[in-house]
Structure 1
Amino acid sequence: MADYLLFATERYALPILQPLAQALDAAGHAVHAWFVDGASGARLPAPVRTVGLREAVALKPRAVFSAANWVPTFVSGAKVQLFHGFNVEKRSDERGHFRVRGLFDLYCTQGPATTAPFRELAAQAGHFAVVETGWPKLDPLFRDDAGAAAAMRAPAGSRPVVMFASTFTERLSAAPHLFDGIAAEVARGDRYWLLTLHPKCAPELFERYRALAGPNATFFETEQLVTAQRAADVLVADTTSVVSEFVVQRKPVVTFRNRAPKPHMLDFDDAARLPDMLARAFAPDDALKAALADYADAIHPYRDGRSSERVIAATDALLGGELGRLKAKPLAARLRALQIRQRMGYWGLG
């Protein structure tokens, strides 16, 4: 049995880490979690044990799995990047998904669209390895969840189900623009709505969307995101990475002013067109179905619900020397490691 550490800085990382925690526990390992910043105070179900800074260091874990942009380098063990979302092109590659900070030993990529660019970066840098594993967060999307999705859908009865999700980035968020249209759809009641917002959205937006809950809608929290995706037939969103997660199921998505619209999206820029876009989503043509399938295969072709097991196997391969010898981390990474120590207030050994 080995000790493993899960690391997160935001609550939305918990659904990413939970399937991995279950897989580690099933393999007989001890699973610990260290949550900081926006994830402080969060918990994962037993047997995951929550620890603090000094306990995390004392554990000397075999590996640290991070669903954040950074990882505490002073904790021992292999540093494994799991990603906190898909590449939705919110930023340039240099600032966004393909930014390499020099902190990780292994990148577990989600699918071919991510793997190829990271393998090119790994060949150039030499100080990290890349293995395509699929994304642990989506494991429950393709596994029996003890009826959770059916339970969430039950209030809809025979009605179709629409899910709404929005990014917190103000200039990209659909939440302020689509509220009136969604409120009208909810009031009409011919479809049932599952509503959520990014945890960083403004409190007043949360109040407005929560107030829509009733016989025709419910508001759910981030931890139920994957269950809601299974339960819904169509997604309404913007440039949130939830769009890509939903598309993996090959279900239609309606996007409002997406930053980089693609053929698999029904994108629109006039809030008054929401009813028409929903009608198209619930009657997808062959071209849209083909685009959904192509995109899903490019970003996440795994539909077996076992990405967590592949992450563990990739980590074992790294630690066993099967992925080759890695170069020393660059100077910039060492400076960043010192900044992390300063940020965390830790100057001990490690």
Structure 2
Amino acid sequence: MDYLTATAEKKYLMYISQNYSYAILRPLQQEILARGGQVRWFLEGSNVNHEFLNEGEQTLSTIEEIHNWQPDVVYAPSNIIPTFIPGIKVGVFHGFDAGKLNRKGENDHFKIRGCFDLYCTQGPNTTAPFKALATKHGFFEVKETGWPTLDPFFSQIANNPYKNPNDPRKTLLICSTFSKRLSLAPKLYEHIKAYSQQGKWRILVQFHPKMPSELVEQYKDLQNDNLTFVETDNVLPLLQAADVMLCDTSSILLMFLLQRKPVVTFCNQAPGEHLIDVTNPDKVEEAINYALTTPTELMTKIEHFCQQLHPYQDGLSSQRVLAASNELLLNNPVLKPKPRNFIRNFKMRKKLNYWRW
């Protein structure tokens, strides 16, 4: 059966809580609308900017409105989602597994919180662990689809605002996670300030939206002809504009690698042969210079890593996610009941001020 044709007249809810989720789900929205499905957005909390909605994108404002609309499928690029809303819940992830460990030494990427009916995984190195977890828990399914976010990534973005054809310098993109323990932003500030004054590279800086505001302001103050600080809900043009990335343990570095471009990391939690990892701040500049030479051995290791991370370069991951969702919806397989999670559900109801159903 062609599960894509089953999209017509069905209802799909995009449930988001961060601005970066717009870019994750919009390629999927495009596929749904092209096949006659309906799409609505629910923007949870104050971290989502309603001004980032595009013309024609429709929203539901309350959980009661969601119940009245009765979505067939709910997509969420987050770790948790209310289980008391209708529709099958599909996890599409807010990033790749960057190897981040929590304070208990656990990898949160593979933590099952009992919210989803289906996980759409990105590549072999995440599919295998999630399938093992599906066998263990029994209340969700797993399909390897690729990541919808990247569908536009495999074609060049026209009129990229972050490229400057009149500037012959190489472009360095600096990205950082918000965790004080993992972030390069406070630790490399003086070095990055020096790079911005040297003018050897054209520098773009973009941070996780949860980065402390005082650090954001510090970096904004560095802006000059050599360094630009960027705030955006869509990082794909930024990634395409750069030649090399400097990062820490943020999962955005994995998106950058998929372009087959080198990444220099500072104190990465899961360094591998596909990265140029340094722990001495004084060695960062040397590592960037090395990365810009795109050494053959490094590029071979990056290619091998990408085949495990996200082997799909056809721009059709959204179609695969949509087909997998419709398949689960139509076939209605027998799964174990999800854990009740009384405490989490109570917290979500309190947060959303919703006590019915």
TM-score class, shorter-chain normalisation, is over 0.9
Letter in 2 for 1:30: Q
Partner of 1:340: 348
Structure 1 residue runs without a partner (length 5+):
none
Higher helix share: 1
Deviations 1:219-251 (A, max 9, x none): 211413111001111000000011111111111
Question: For residue 60 of structure 2, what is the aligned residue in structure 1?
Answer: 51
Deviates more, 1:209-218 or 1:259-268: 209-218
Tell me what 1:123 maps to.
Answer: 135
Structure 1: how far apart are the matches of 2:114 and 2:166?
A: 48
Conserved? CA contact 1:191–1:216, under 8 Å: yes
Instruction: State the Cα distance separating 1:44 from its structure 2 match.
Output: 2.6
Once residues 212 and 50 of structure 1 are traced to their aligned partners in structure 2, the CA distance between those partners, rounded to angstroms, is 38
1:94/1:60 CA distance change after superposition, 3 Å: farther
Do residues 290 (structure 1) and 314 (structure 2) align?
Answer: no
Q: 2:97 aligns with which of 63, 87, 107?
A: 87
Give the aligned partner of residue 34 of structure 1.
42
TM-score by length of 1: 0.93
CA-CA distance at 1:270 after TM superposition: 1.3
Question: How far is 1:196 from its partner?
Answer: 0.9
1:94 Cα offset (Å):
4.8
**Which 5+ residue runs of structure 2 have no aligned equivalent?**
1-8
Aligned-pair CA distance for 1:99:
0.8
> Distance in 1 between the 2:107 and 2:244 partners?
31
Mapped contact 2:267–2:279 kept (Cα < 8 A): yes
- Structure 2 residue 167 is matched with structure 1 residue 161: no
Q: 2:157 aligns with which of 145, 156, 161?
A: 145
- Secondary structure in 2 aligned to 1:97? helix
**What does residue 3 of structure 1 align with?**
11
With over 3 angstroms needed to count, the CA separation of the structure-2 counterparts of 1:291 and 1:346, relative to structure 1, is: same
Quote the Cα distance in structure 1 between the aligned partners of 2:313 and 2:159.
19
The DSSP-based 3-state class of the residue aligned with 2:173 is strand
CA shift digits 1:18-76 (9 cap, x unpaired):
22222222222221111112434434313321221222221101111001111122221
Q: Runs of 4 or more off by more than 6 Å in structure 1? A: none
Partner of 2:6: none
Structure 2 Cα separation of the partners of residues 152 and 40 of structure 1: 24
Equivalent residues of 2:19, 2:49 under 8 A apart: no
Task: Indicate the residue corresponding to 1:301 in structure 2.
Answer: 311
Q: Match for 1:11: what amino acid?
A: N
Task: Write the distance in 2 (CA, Å) between the matches of 1:7 and 1:133.
Answer: 19
TM, length-normalised to structure 2: 0.91
Q: Distance in 1 between matches of 2:275 and 2:147?
A: 22
Give yes or no for contact 2:131–2:142 (8 Å, CA) kept in 1: yes
Partner of 1:174: 184
Q: Secondary structure at the match of 1:61?
A: coil
- Amino acid aligned to 2:87: G
Q: In structure 2, how many angstroms separate the alpha carbons of the residues matched to 1:163 and 1:38?
A: 28
Question: Deviations for 1:202-235, whole angstroms, at most 9, x for unmatched residues?
Answer: 1121112112323222221141311100111100
Is the deviation greater in 152-161 or in 277-286? Answer: 152-161
- Tell me which residue corresponds to 1:256: 266
Secondary structure of the structure 1 residue equivalent to 2:164: helix
Distance 1:231 1:50 in 2: 32
Counterpart-to-counterpart distance in 1, 2:173 and 2:48:
28
Separation in structure 1 between the aligned mates of residue 129 and residue 173 of structure 2, nearest angstrom: 31
State the AA in 2 paired with 1:223.
D
Letter of the aligned partner of 1:129 in structure 2?
A: E
Q: What are the within-5 Å matches in structure 2 for residues 102-251 of structure 1?
A: 102-148=114-160, 151-154=161-164, 157-251=167-261
- Measured after TM superposition, the shift of residue 334 of structure 1 is 5.6
Report the AA paired with residue 318 of structure 1. Answer: L
Question: Within the alignment, does 1:72 sit opposite 2:78 as a pair?
Answer: no
| Fraction of identical pairs, as percent | 39
The 8 Å contact of residues 156 and 240 in structure 2, kept in 1 or not, is answered as: no
Once residues 272 and 226 of structure 1 are traced to their aligned partners in structure 2, the CA distance between those partners, rounded to angstroms, is 30
Separation in 2 of the partners of 1:335 and 1:179? 41
Report if the CA contact (8 A) 1:163-1:193 is conserved. yes
1:119 counterpart letter in structure 2: K
* In the alignment, structure 1 residue 273 sits paired with structure 2 residue 283: yes
Q: Distance in 2 between matches of 1:142 and 1:344?
A: 37
Distance 1:335 1:232, change over 3 A: same
Q: Counterpart of 2:162 in structure 1: which amino acid?
A: M
- Paired residue type of 1:141: F
SS in 2 for 1:227: helix
Q: Return 108-117 or 154-163, whichever deviates more.
A: 154-163
Conserved? CA contact 1:166–1:173, under 8 Å: yes
- 2: CA distance between counterparts of 1:176 and 1:110? 31
Distance between the aligned counterparts of 1:317 and 1:299, measured in 2? Answer: 24
